[in-house]
Structure 1
Amino acid sequence: MTAELVRGQNHPLPGNRLEIRVSAGTPLVAAVTLGDEQGRVAGDGGWLAHPGEPHLPGVEVPRQAATQHRLAVDLGAMPDGVHRVHVLLALPGGRPDAPADFGAMAAPQLAVTTPEGAEIAGFTITGLGAETALLAAELYRRQGAWKIRAVGQGYAGGLPALFADQGVPEPATVAGQIQYAVERERARSVAPPPPAPAPPQPGPRAGAAPAARAAGAGPGTDASSDTSTDTSVDGDTDASDNASAGIDYRHPRRRPTRAPAAAQHSRPDARADASATSAEPATLNGGPTPPPTVPGQAPPPQDPAGRPAPTGPPEPFAGDAAGWSMEERLHNQIWGMFEDLARTVAAYRSAEDFARSRYEQELDRLLADPRTRGGAAADAARDAAELKQVALVDQARAVLDRDLAQLTVEAEVVDPALPPAYAGWENPCWHAYQVPAEPPLAVRLGSLTLPEAPELRIPLLARMPLNRGLWIDSADDRRLALDTAVAIAARLLASHPAGAFAVHALDPAGSATQALAPLQASGALVLPTAAAGAAGVGEVLGRLTERVDLLQMAMRGGAADALPPGLDTAEHLLIVHEFPYAFDDRAVNQLRYLADEGPGAGVHLLLVADREDAAAYGPVLDPLWRSMLRLTPLPSDHLADPWVGHAWTYEPALVPPGSQVLTEVLRRLAAARPAYGP
């Protein structure tokens, strides 16, 4: 069964040898870039195939601009360093008959087929406007198996903007070379090949459900559901059926400059290797018509005979991501799991919206026609439309359940391998805690869940050093908010080497004594007790403000060696309880200064407060609240994801009731830490 994809959705590929067929109402230019795990251009033998240089290992692209292309791909011949292959489409420049942008032409269509012509997946790229180039699709590896993802990301700046997003050196020059190569060739259309009889479809991937026939949209990396679009009542597919919800599917961590592949922070299941294709009716490594031989170029590489195509997803394993160390690989794997969950849920929700929207459209058409407004025929048509809606949602749910099952298996493998900094307090790794020798890459602040999969918890990791302050909202439960703050502070302490992290506490009214007892008893606080009263608040804020001033001046002036000899190099965390009690105007300004300038000098804020308590300050404190990451002591769906529009439910990383693990960890840390002085 063919899967009709929409933006963000993916579909497994049954083998290595494929064709990607492009159809458009006007001649288009096709190109391909080879990318690493993060989509940045990569490849020792070249990373760009375009009309002037149409061959890369496993890839061949058209030499002309044409209304229809057949592009051949051999995934088995991709170099080891290539993890994404991006299929690019662009309008040719300098043609009087060319439209001004994609919005002025019919929606381009892509079809992924076997060499024999059996269609695997399709994608109609709708919702385009002023764009003149687009990243149409990408093929990528997911735990050793290849998938195709529908992308459809347009660029109003044309190929230069697209190449710049992928880290291509001198993107404007490269784009000019492609247009020059196109101008040298006579634009022509390649007639589509006659449809070949579809061979028996391969069996489903292990643990996978059939591809859903419902449209959806999901965000920028791997676990979007695989869905397809049914036809409307009149037998034609509505253009609105595949319309995107306006989500930006670009990877949120792409950078305008390229970093070495080994240092990229991504995960293999967020990799996309979009296969390329040829303008001639040919396939790589065999097929009905062999690819043309280009003088001066080596023939396309051949797939080793007898290589079996993957029959199912490989077993997941901990550290299945790029990185220098296991800690970095686990961090990137967790981030990839977050992306996977975001994508597959976004696709499912979009499929539901699509099914409901099409059902309403069909009812509107029935009601608009007096001949179908009533009677038995109208009742039958309504029942058929409702059944179609239910079928679409059920198919989308089957895909969601398949993806969630895969993610659940991966989470069960990853969780036992997490280091203490990433693990929940209930994880047995804390019982074998040893004081680390190096600062952590990140620290866990809690867990994230979505309503569709409440049992699947993705760790919320904050990269270190913290570049934003943390605000524990105490509006619902003040004591639990303080316990959450203590648990986070203890985790930060335990994740750093002895003496590399220091904690200060402001408790103006002395109401936090019991909650802060584990930190005080272990000597984790810089001062023996939390600072109390207005005088104590002013003294601690003044000392930390002076520290930030000294470090800022030293860094800006390049005079780090001029710092006072007694100034320690540790990161500092300030816990502020009962804000704004005992804070005068000067103390408030100092707190705002620490929030803005402190992270750059190694001073971080952890605020336990109810925003309503500070309402008397009006808008003066609005920048403070906005600059901090708001966390809650009780599960709350307040963390917005601008990437796909989800509201994630945050659950704090609290110590299990009755557990002494936090006290024991702080005791071991105290034994290895030098005593702090006032």
Structure 2
Amino acid sequence: MTAELVRGQNHPLPQARLEIRVSAGKPVVAGATLGDEQGTVRGTEWVAHPGSPNLPGLEVSRQAAADHRLAVDLGALPETVHRVTILLALSPGAGGPDRFGALAAPFVSVTGLDGSEVASYTVTGLDSESAVVVLELYRRQGIWKVRAVGQGYAGGLAEMLGDQGLAQAHELAAAIQDAVSSGMARSVAAPPPRSQDGDRTRRTPSRTANGGHDAQTDAPPPPTAVPAPPHAPAPSPAAASGPDSGAPQTAPGSPIDYAHPRRRNTAPPPPQPTAPPAPPGQHPQPVAGDAAGWSMDERLYNQVWGMFEDLARTTAAYRSAVDFAESRMEQELDKALSDPRSRIGTAGDTARATARAKHDELVGRARDALERDLSQLAAESDVVEPALPPAFASWDNPVWHGYRVPMEIPMALRVGDLHLPERPDLRIPMLLRLPLERGLWIDSGRSGSGAALMLESDQLRRAAMESAVAHAARLLAVYPADGFTVHVIDPAGTGAPALAPLTESGVLDAPPAAGAQGVAAVLAELTQRVDLVQMAIRGGAADSLPPGLDTAEQLLIVNDFPHGFDDRAVTQLRYLADEGPSVGVHLMMVADREDASAYGPVLDPLWRALLRVTPVPDDHLIDPWVGHTWTYEPLLPPVGSQVVRQVLAQVAAARR
């Protein structure tokens, strides 16, 4: 029976191998400290955090995320450890509030490896704190217990670690924040919180460590409503002065409305399609659009995110089951062979064979359960992919043959596909909400992936620029006519072949800027635009913008960085990356970070502000639920296809 703890209450732990599951609704940093008999943390090597996620008997997440699963093996902890403290902290680089009082109450649960919940705790009563101790696992007279703590610290990680006796508290807190910030370019942003009924009508049951199913062991969904951050992004000038400007606005501190920006939530959404009842013992037949939403596009968006989460969690359950089976086999072998008498004759061979048989049985059952879940997700993908609208569809989807310039902005944009090694052919569309909240960095360097190492440097740079053009063409295609403007900086003209679809179709208002003078002119124009729009919005005078100002969303593609850039231009780029998205100016860098190493750490904030994608398959993106590393596949048109040029021709005609 699950114990629902209140602050200060404790509960015995029935087993040594546990999971700590955290649901916060917004990205938070999760970590843990080890303490001695007095609860003192003796050194930085006693702290598990994103920069150093593994300690003996302890593993934490490598990034800030809305959901976490921390692994604890009490039996593997050093003998000198008597306390494990689970902590949460807000990260300034995670794009959220700076105090827990602005979030829904974090929920934390302690479960066994089979998914059975031992204890849970909702951390309430937080206000100005930016770090909080949520739980303590402590040992008394040889028995381990869990205690609900809920102690917050307004001084953040440094104050919390200092309170636990760590002498290097400030240095380690800074190192943790740096590790989180540097990982932001690898993270796929979490989707909006689920509605009360959940975003999906079908939930894949979680699997237990022995390969069975338990429909009641899914981690709790994120809270429904999350207070807005104190510095919410301002609308773009088009939104501020457009025909929908009379729509209700979100007040600071009130729940965020994640519905489509042009829809009023005055009535419940229409019912979504549901699958016919399935025969007993079989999965229901997948249906496209079976998630909650106001429109088919919104339902499909939520369904894709649900598939993404289901694949992440079902794979996590399988990997956890395999780890459990291997650990159990090792323990049984150690126990059987610790007696020298068992090493004589056939006793040792029998013990090894028995342990291996149990291991194979557990792994086999887990693999069977994984295959059932993957088959269901593959069947759902086969139904969903053909039904996707252009903004969500791949370039080879027939929906592009009937393309027409849209009348309004879609919810999201597809920028690639993601897959895991357990089922490489099961691809999940990677969708980013629109308007873009951060720019893109298309890595043209040797990233270390096998595909990148197979290409010469010039081939990789050409592929990166072609990928940038494909992304830009898709943005132009999914926005209304005159709703999106693209600028290109190509100082040496090396990107001309890849830029041909943009330049020849006539969708660019000006040719690509070349030379140092061209770079300076484009950056000055966009920087001035950001300044003007910010002042107008903050002053509540959006109608007072200069008559000639282009109110469309803006995208700046930068090729060959840092060639042609001086210190002033670099500073302007950083400014556009930080301040541009809130007023409709977005940055797409096509660059090799090694080429810009001469600038030193001055460019680190620029790279961290952008989402890194690659022109070739690469294992570098991390999901926001369990922290798997996913293989990213860029979204490119089929070889020899003219679909991009045909779409751009329609966009250019509509703009004229």
TM range (shorter): 0.5 to 0.7
Q: 3-state SS of the aligned residue for 2:427? A: strand
> Could you tell me which residue of structure 2 aligns to residue 13 of structure 1?
none
> Could you tell me which residue of structure 2 aligns to residue 541 of structure 1?
523
Cα contact 1:153–1:249 (8 A) shared by 2: no
Deviation at 1:106, TM superposition (A): 4.6
Query: Computing the radius of gyration over CA atoms, which structure comes out larger, 1 or 2?
Result: 1
- Return the alpha-carbon distance in structure 2 between the equivalents of residues 370 and 312 of structure 1: 51
Q: Deviations for 1:206-262, whole angstroms, at most 9, x for unmatched residues?
A: xxxxxxxxxxxxxx99446422549xxxxxxxxxxx9xxxx9955467543567898
Q: 3-state SS of the aligned residue for 1:456? A: coil
> Could you tell me which residue of structure 2 aligns to residue 609 of structure 1?
591
> Could you tell me which residue of structure 1 aligns to residue 467 of structure 2?
484
> Could you tell me which residue of structure 1 aligns to residue 297 of structure 2?
327
- Return the alpha-carbon distance in structure 1 between the equivalents of residues 256 and 602 of structure 2: 40
2:527 matched to 1:561? no
**Equivalent residue letter for 2:493:** G
How many positions carry a matched residue from both structures? 445
Q: 3-state SS of the aligned residue for 1:385? A: helix
Deviation at 1:641, TM superposition (A): 2.7
Deviation at 1:540, TM superposition (A): 0.3
Cα contact 1:508–1:581 (8 A) shared by 2: yes
**Equivalent residue letter for 2:567:** D
Rate the CA distance shift 1:431–1:618 in 2: closer, same or farther, 3 A.
same
- Return the alpha-carbon distance in structure 1 between the equivalents of residues 363 and 13 of structure 2: 31
> Could you tell me which residue of structure 1 aligns to residue 207 of structure 2?
226
2:356 matched to 1:386? yes
2:553 matched to 1:571? yes
Cα contact 1:502–1:571 (8 A) shared by 2: yes
> Could you tell me which residue of structure 1 aligns to residue 123 of structure 2?
157
Rate the CA distance shift 1:126–1:133 in 2: closer, same or farther, 3 A.
farther
- Return the alpha-carbon distance in structure 2 between the equivalents of residues 320 and 152 of structure 1: 33
Rate the CA distance shift 1:152–1:483 in 2: closer, same or farther, 3 A.
farther
Deviation at 1:668, TM superposition (A): 1.0
> Could you tell me which residue of structure 2 aligns to residue 587 of structure 1?
569
Q: Deviations for 1:484-533, whole angstroms, at most 9, x for unmatched residues?
A: 00000000000011100010000000111111111111111120x10000
Q: 3-state SS of the aligned residue for 2:425? A: strand
Deviation at 1:563, TM superposition (A): 0.7
- Return the alpha-carbon distance in structure 1 between the equivalents of residues 338 and 653 of structure 2: 79
Task: Select which of 521, 524, 530 maps to 2:507.
Answer: 524
**Equivalent residue letter for 1:521:** E
1:121-200 to structure 2, matched below 5 A, reads 154-155=120-121, 157=123
> Could you tell me which residue of structure 1 aligns to residue 371 of structure 2?
401
- Return the alpha-carbon distance in structure 1 between the equivalents of residues 533 and 257 of structure 2: 31
Cα contact 2:210–2:321 (8 A) shared by 1: no
- Return the alpha-carbon distance in structure 2 between the equivalents of residues 498 and 489 of structure 1: 14
Cα contact 1:103–1:130 (8 A) shared by 2: no
> Could you tell me which residue of structure 1 aligns to residue 622 of structure 2?
640
1:60-99 to structure 2, matched below 5 A, reads 89-90=4-5
Deviation at 1:391, TM superposition (A): 0.9
Q: Deviations for 1:338-393, whole angstroms, at most 9, x for unmatched residues?
A: 00100111111111111111111111111212232332122112101001101111
Cα contact 2:464–2:614 (8 A) shared by 1: yes
2:285 matched to 1:315? yes
> Could you tell me which residue of structure 1 aligns to residue 651 of structure 2?
669
> Could you tell me which residue of structure 1 aligns to residue 345 of structure 2?
375
**Equivalent residue letter for 2:5:** A
Q: Root-mean-square deviation (CA), in Å? A: 3.6
Rate the CA distance shift 1:133–1:651 in 2: closer, same or farther, 3 A.
closer
Rate the CA distance shift 1:672–1:223 in 2: closer, same or farther, 3 A.
same
- Return the alpha-carbon distance in structure 1 between the equivalents of residues 257 and 509 of structure 2: 40
Deviation at 1:90, TM superposition (A): 3.0
Rate the CA distance shift 1:422–1:308 in 2: closer, same or farther, 3 A.
closer
Q: Deviations for 1:136-176, whole angstroms, at most 9, x for unmatched residues?
A: 699xxxxxxxxx97566743736x68xxxxxxxxxxxxxxx
Rate the CA distance shift 1:398–1:157 in 2: closer, same or farther, 3 A.
same
Deviation at 1:565, TM superposition (A): 1.5
- Return the alpha-carbon distance in structure 1 between the equivalents of residues 391 and 223 of structure 2: 22
> Could you tell me which residue of structure 2 aligns to residue 425 of structure 1?
395
- Return the alpha-carbon distance in structure 2 between the equivalents of residues 314 and 581 of structure 1: 56
**TM-score when scaled to structure 2?**
0.63
Q: 3-state SS of the aligned residue for 2:548? A: coil
- Return the alpha-carbon distance in structure 1 between the equivalents of residues 429 and 296 of structure 2: 16
> Could you tell me which residue of structure 2 aligns to residue 355 of structure 1?
325
2:308 matched to 1:338? yes
> Could you tell me which residue of structure 2 aligns to residue 273 of structure 1?
none
**Equivalent residue letter for 1:480:** A
Q: 3-state SS of the aligned residue for 1:397? A: helix
**TM-score when scaled to structure 1?**
0.61
Task: Select which of 577, 586, 599 maps to 2:581.
Answer: 599
Q: Deviations for 1:244-300, whole angstroms, at most 9, x for unmatched residues?
A: xxx99554675435678986999x99xxxxxxxxxxxxxxxxxxxxxxxxxxxxxxx
1:12-91 to structure 2, matched below 5 A, reads 22=1, 89-90=4-5
Cα contact 1:635–1:649 (8 A) shared by 2: yes
Cα contact 2:207–2:318 (8 A) shared by 1: no
- Return the alpha-carbon distance in structure 1 between the equivalents of residues 599 and 224 of structure 2: 39
Work out the percentage of aligned pairs sharing the same amino acid.
57
Q: 3-state SS of the aligned residue for 1:514? A: helix
- Return the alpha-carbon distance in structure 2 between the equivalents of residues 149 and 667 of structure 1: 54
Task: Select which of 469, 487, 506 maps to 1:504.
Answer: 487
Deviation at 1:103, TM superposition (A): 5.2
Cα contact 1:107–1:126 (8 A) shared by 2: no
Cα contact 1:151–1:249 (8 A) shared by 2: no
Q: Which residues of structure 1 form unaligned runs of 5+?
A: 1-21, 29-88, 94-99, 109-124, 139-147, 162-219, 231-241, 270-306
**Equivalent residue letter for 1:405:** S
2:409 matched to 1:494? no
Q: Deviations for 1:81-122, whole angstroms, at most 9, x for unmatched residues?
A: xxxxxxxx235x8xxxxxx444555579xxxxxxxxxxxxxx
Q: Deviations for 1:173-198, whole angstroms, at most 9, x for unmatched residues?
A: xxxxxxxxxxxxxxxxxxxxxxxxxx
Q: Deviations for 1:56-79, whole angstroms, at most 9, x for unmatched residues?
A: xxxxxxxxxxxxxxxxxxxxxxxx
Deviation at 1:126, TM superposition (A): 8.7
> Could you tell me which residue of structure 2 aligns to residue 256 of structure 1?
226
**Equivalent residue letter for 1:539:** A
- Return the alpha-carbon distance in structure 2 between the equivalents of residues 572 and 479 of structure 1: 23
- Return the alpha-carbon distance in structure 2 between the equivalents of residues 149 and 369 of structure 1: 34
Deviation at 1:619, TM superposition (A): 0.3
Q: Deviations for 1:546-588, whole angstroms, at most 9, x for unmatched residues?
A: 0000001011111112111221221000000000100001100
Rate the CA distance shift 1:479–1:363 in 2: closer, same or farther, 3 A.
same
Cα contact 1:153–1:250 (8 A) shared by 2: no
Cα contact 1:90–1:134 (8 A) shared by 2: no
Cα contact 1:471–1:628 (8 A) shared by 2: yes
Q: 3-state SS of the aligned residue for 1:409? A: helix
- Return the alpha-carbon distance in structure 2 between the equivalents of residues 672 and 261 of structure 1: 30
- Return the alpha-carbon distance in structure 2 between the equivalents of residues 446 and 565 of structure 1: 38
**Equivalent residue letter for 1:393:** V
Rate the CA distance shift 1:437–1:261 in 2: closer, same or farther, 3 A.
closer
Farther-moved stretch of structure 1 (363-372 vs 127-136): 127-136
Cα contact 1:595–1:605 (8 A) shared by 2: yes
- Return the alpha-carbon distance in structure 1 between the equivalents of residues 442 and 108 of structure 2: 41
Q: 3-state SS of the aligned residue for 1:493? A: helix
- Return the alpha-carbon distance in structure 2 between the equivalents of residues 516 and 308 of structure 1: 50
